[in-house]
Amino acid sequence: MPRLGILVPSSNTALEPLVARMLSGLPDVTAHFSRFPVTRIDLSEGGLAQFDPTPIILAARLLADADVDVICWNGTSAGWCGFDTDRSLCAQIEAATSIPCVTSVLALNDALHTIGAKRFGLVSPYTTDVQSRIVANYASAGLHCVAERHLGISRNADFADVPPATLDAMCREVAVTRPDALMIFCTNLKAADRVATLEAELGLPIYDTIATGIWQALASIGAKPERITGWGSLFGLSTGP
């Protein structure tokens, strides 16, 4: 029975219930979670220090005790810290545990590459400076943000309280610009279960970062993510190498 090991920010309350629902049609797959301290998202020294690899690797080692088949960092810090931070983290986790590692952001980037996206829309709960850093990092990778909406929130626990109707409205506003894809960028938003409905309404691919991590974690162990239905077009994509 495949086991997914998932690393979760300590103050996140949206991710685990959504993942449980996402995997409910796959009785042969189980998800197991480990946390490390994250309470706010900002660009202060303390805010950035939360993503030092040391506590993340300790949390990953706890997942390794459960003999999981893959470890997924289901968080979005690479968006503002830089994509290389996730690449390095994966390498360190794999060295420490001998278990393959994927991340939500690198999986998102793989999905964008798979469909040939160059223009994207961005929806997040973050502050202006964090949002700007995300946009800049994607620009450096050759992807252009054509529209964005953010809420100016920095307390991580508050992200889960954003009403789904607010997120729907933000997606509709961004979709007016007709991006190649729309990114819902945060793993403590209650949005993943709205993606299929919004894709049908707006006529464009929408990638939620909770879902991207699960998509690539499943694919990396041959667990056929396309078996997940009703959660958006992402799960029908083939992953990159």
Query: 107 Cβ partners below 8 Å, 6+ apart?
Result: 212, 213, 215, 216, 217, 239
Reduce the DSSP state of residue 161 to 3 states and report it. Answer: coil
pLDDT in the model for residue 10: 98
DSSP H helices in 65-190: 78-81, 83-97, 104-114, 128-140, 156-159, 164-175
Q: Are 159 and 14 within 8 A, CB to CB?
A: yes
pLDDT in the model for residue 134: 98
pLDDT in the model for residue 240: 53
Q: Are 210 and 230 within 8 A, CB to CB?
A: no
Cα 99 from chain centroid (whole Å): 20
- Which helix (H) or strand (E) element contains residue 9? strand 3-9
pLDDT in the model for residue 171: 98
The order of strands in the sheet holding 101-103 is 30-36, 3-9, 70-73, 101-103
pTM for the model stands at: 0.96
Q: Are 37 and 55 within 8 A, CB to CB?
A: yes
pLDDT tens series, the chain, 241 aa: 899 999 999 999 999 999 999 999 999 999 999 999 999 999 999 999 999 999 999 999 999 999 999 999 999 999 999 999 999 999 999 999 999 999 999 999 999 999 999 999 999 999 999 999 999 999 999 999 999 999 999 999 999 999 999 999 999 999 999 999 999 999 999 999 999 999 999 999 999 999 999 999 999 999 999 999 999 999 999 865 4
